[in-house]
Structure 1
Amino acid sequence: MGIESDVFVANSLINMYAKSGHPSEASYVFHYMPVKDVVTWNAMITNLTQNGLQLAALELVREMVVHNKIPDSVTLISVLPTCARGGFLRPGKEIHAVTIRKGFNFDLFVTNALTDMYAKCGCLDLAQRVFDISLRDELSYNILIASYAETSDCSKSLSLFSEMGLIGMMHDVVSFVGAISACANLAASKQGKEIHGVVMRNFFHAHLFVANSLLDFYSRCGRIDIANKIFERIPNKNAASWNTMILGYGMIGELDIAINLFENMREDGVEYDSVSYIAVLLACSHEGFVEKGRKYFEEMQAQNIKPTQMHYACMVDLLGRAGLMEDAVELVKNLPIIPDANVWGALLGACRIHGNTKLGSWAAEHLIKLKPEHCWYNTPLSNMYAEAGKSDMANKIRELMKLIGEKKNPGYSWDQSRDQVQAFVVGEVMENYTIGHQHAESC
């Protein structure tokens, strides 16, 4: 009909091709348009981001400015998730500067996108700064609750969760999952149970993601009995539900139950994933089921699940614990990928169990090459030499540890007292975390 060059029609064509998964056709329409407006550029940027072409999307934003088209809030909201997904911090900061220059730093959608970008790039301090000076809605809080839950500052997730309730904002699935995960990391059983109560009263307990988070929380707090009750009540369990229970029973040494759960998972019609096999291989390793572990490992590959470094580390640990050191070494030497610290660490652990100082030194040499800045492997190596009666070598390693100033990372203990969770290391109080007493009372 001769209207393919009409800017409104062409913009719609770009949008249609983008959402249909045909980025090249969208690009063809874009490049042959005689006139392009800001909507055209935004549509094309969205096309590239939706189809996983992050770098091309960022380049197009720069090209847009060269063509004297001023990015608007839609442009920024479209491209900031690209920086978040790709971990592109520097371009993200450049876009942040544009938002300030153009006055979009007061736009809720833009600031939420900025907060998310900084959080996903691992800069939670910058994400927090944007959050502190911006308008906020439930999404603003959820971004930080979920992000802090995955860090050592996970107590901040609980503070933000509490703050949401105090100012009258409604918690949703993301809020609950983040807060429950934080409780699991802190082993904050009292606060976790309170949040579980809120979950029940708001009828979120039936949501699969929330239920799975509760499974993880109770398993890690040593209440596998409660986790099992929740597990039994989940109507449509997914792989994560089963994996959490398998790992949970494995952690408390109920290895037979863990392996039986793995078998029952298949009978329930749930497909195994990569984590399922890590969980069952760990259980086989600690129980000494070598042949069963080998069978599962071969079965995993037959199902086209590509083994990761963790799977290989589990197999090395399985063989090493059983005293099959030659098999473990042969596996390491013939790996189709370059062994990482997990694999060499598993071999070093097995060497210490069986007092094999020669192989232990070989594993430690590779660990030094891979992780020269981390010397955690010196302690098991030193202990191995000491137990083998080679005190001179043990002393040399200890002297080296003193020379480089190596310190063992302290283990923390968590204590709950009313509205606070305190972190302790031997002899001192590390931190004092207020979880939100007012919110606890309102629960």
Structure 2
Amino acid sequence: MRLILCYPSKQPLHSQAALFLTSTISTSASPSKWSQAIKQSSSPLKSLQIYTHMHHQSIPIDSFTVLYTLTASTHLHNLPLLRHLHAHIFKLGFISNVYIMSSLLHGYSNACFDDARQLFDEMPERTTVTWNTMITGLSRSGNVDKARSLFDEMPMRNIASWSAMIAAYVNTGHQRKGLALFCKMLTDEKLKPDEFTLCAVLGGCAKMGTVGFVLGKSIHGFIVRNWWELNVELGTTLVDMYAKSGSLKVATLVFDMMRETNVVSWTALICGAGQHGYVNEARTLFDRMQKAGVKPNELTFTGILSTCVHAGLVEEGRMYFKLIYQYGLKPNIHHYGCMVDLFGKAGELEDAYEVIMKMQPEANMNVWGSFLNACKVQNNFKMAERVIKRVVELLRPEKDGGVYSLIADLFVMGEKWDDAEKIRRLMVTQNVRKARGTSFISYGGP
């Protein structure tokens, strides 16, 4: 069986890999040296080059070689590649190696969960890590009930199993179930949480208002009493919890106590400040981050731009939007949406229209709805009329009821009575229901 790997590159690799390898590793070197070369490679692609070269030169491949190659391949999310490696593992006789199969399962769970589920069902031996991988994969695919069933079936659970299931609930919007499971872990199983458990629970606290805030403070007290160090992950989660709860001073104190911070930490603080109306603080934090040499990411810019929207800072918004390009990033749908909303609320509808026309990718219904709503507020039917026909073609009866009603109102405002009646009849024939309490623009958070 000849191994043909699917690389994420169109350039031929075998000759380049052979040239690189023959100058660094002798073909007579022991398998352990080859496996270490794969493990220590500077990129997943180089790890695969070494593995391919070994195969072509008939160099013996041991279990560590396969394991390190699989670990590198996981980061590529390349399903054809994983399937080729799976076939090669079968040929080499490593199909019963629980560590190799667990690593393959992890790769499949990131690339194609159906393949992961099939592999899990066929595995002759499973470890706790294997079960935990499936729980995490099921939650990512949105099947949290199946994840819980699997969790309940586990013959043996460790703290990572509980953390995985708690995170599964929190990440799929079932915060209360996640916190209930956390309490069960403490009271029934008498297990002491680790930082991964607390990060998962704190993520749920940030989304549960007053109840979550009280629990979050209690968890913070636990961390302090046990002299835990605020590493980047745990510290950032605490900062995010306090910032989203509006306790910016405490969030800043926690941030300043962290030995190490990163762009996620800064972004959590900036988004929290902007979300609760601390406009000057958000802008000051953004400036401090730049001076500290931390490069903003896409979410950082979403946070600072949404701050400008809430405060009506049009020129500042223009400046931050230009900075996106200066940092070598590309504006995404959230950035464009912020700018449309910012210009629309300021009555600068021509600028909002120009942003929509230049958007890549094209505007979604949130952006169109924001623009049309601004036209209604500004009593400018002529601007709305430019885009209404295009928007109507994109409307989905099951999701865009608010936009249907908005367009009908705009036609009435423009004294287009027949068109308004057509939209209303369309709403009846397509069984359109207007969603209550929705917003045309939604801003992300870390």
Q: Does 1:290 align with 2:310?
A: no
Q: Does 1:324 align with 2:348?
A: yes
* Residue aligning to 2:196: 174
Mark the CA change 1:151 to 1:381 in structure 2 (over 3 Å): closer, same or farther. farther
Q: Does 1:312 align with 2:333?
A: no
Mark the CA change 1:335 to 1:173 in structure 2 (over 3 Å): closer, same or farther. same
Contact 1:14 1:30 in 2 (8 A): no
* Residue aligning to 2:109: 84
More displaced 10-residue stretch of structure 1: 245-254 or 132-141: 245-254
* Residue aligning to 1:184: 206
**1:212-251 aligned within 5 A:** 212-234=236-258, 236-251=260-275
* Residue aligning to 1:260: 284
* Aligned mates of 1:313, 1:162 — CA distance in 2: 40
Q: Does 1:122 align with 2:148?
A: no
- Once the two structures are TM-superposed, the CA of residue 215 in structure 1 deviates from its matched residue by 2.9
- Structure with a larger share of its residues in strand: 1
**C-alpha offsets along residues 292-324 of structure 1, whole Å, 9 cap, x if unaligned?**
221222222122122112112222222222222
Q: Does 1:33 align with 2:53?
A: no
Partner amino acid for 1:81?
H
**C-alpha offsets along residues 36-68 of structure 1, whole Å, 9 cap, x if unaligned?**
666665454445336664531223213443676
Q: Aligned to 1:153, which of 150, 160, 174? A: 174
**C-alpha offsets along residues 324-349 of structure 1, whole Å, 9 cap, x if unaligned?**
21122122222343333343333233
* Aligned mates of 1:364, 1:319 — CA distance in 2: 19
TM-score, with structure 1 as normaliser: 0.79
Q: Aligned to 1:378, which of 404, 420, 443? A: 404
**1:16-55 aligned within 5 A:** 16-20=37-41, 21=43, 22=46, 23-33=48-58, 41-42=66-67, 44-49=69-74, 53-55=78-80
**How many pairs are equivalent?**
404
More displaced 10-residue stretch of structure 1: 310-319 or 383-392: 383-392
Cα RMSD, aligned residues only: 3.3
* Aligned mates of 2:214, 2:409 — CA distance in 1: 39
* Residue aligning to 2:128: 108
TM-score, with structure 2 as normaliser: 0.78
Q: Aligned to 1:198, which of 204, 218, 222? A: 222
Report percent identity of matched pairs.
26
Q: Aligned to 2:377, which of 353, 356, 359? A: 353
Partner amino acid for 1:48?
S
More displaced 10-residue stretch of structure 1: 354-363 or 141-150: 354-363
* Residue aligning to 2:303: 279
* Residue aligning to 2:160: 139
**C-alpha offsets along residues 76-97 of structure 1, whole Å, 9 cap, x if unaligned?**
21111212222x0211121022
**SS of equivalent residue, structure 1 residue 185:** coil
Mark the CA change 1:318 to 1:143 in structure 2 (over 3 Å): closer, same or farther. same
Contact 1:45 1:61 in 2 (8 A): no
Contact 1:317 1:346 in 2 (8 A): yes
More displaced 10-residue stretch of structure 1: 176-185 or 325-334: 325-334
Contact 1:208 1:237 in 2 (8 A): yes
Partner amino acid for 1:153?
H
Partner amino acid for 1:404?
Q
* Aligned mates of 1:392, 1:215 — CA distance in 2: 54
Partner amino acid for 1:333?
M
* Aligned mates of 2:229, 2:59 — CA distance in 1: 55
More displaced 10-residue stretch of structure 1: 290-299 or 331-340: 331-340
Partner amino acid for 2:164?
I
More displaced 10-residue stretch of structure 1: 382-391 or 255-264: 382-391
Q: Aligned to 1:207, which of 231, 235, 241? A: 231
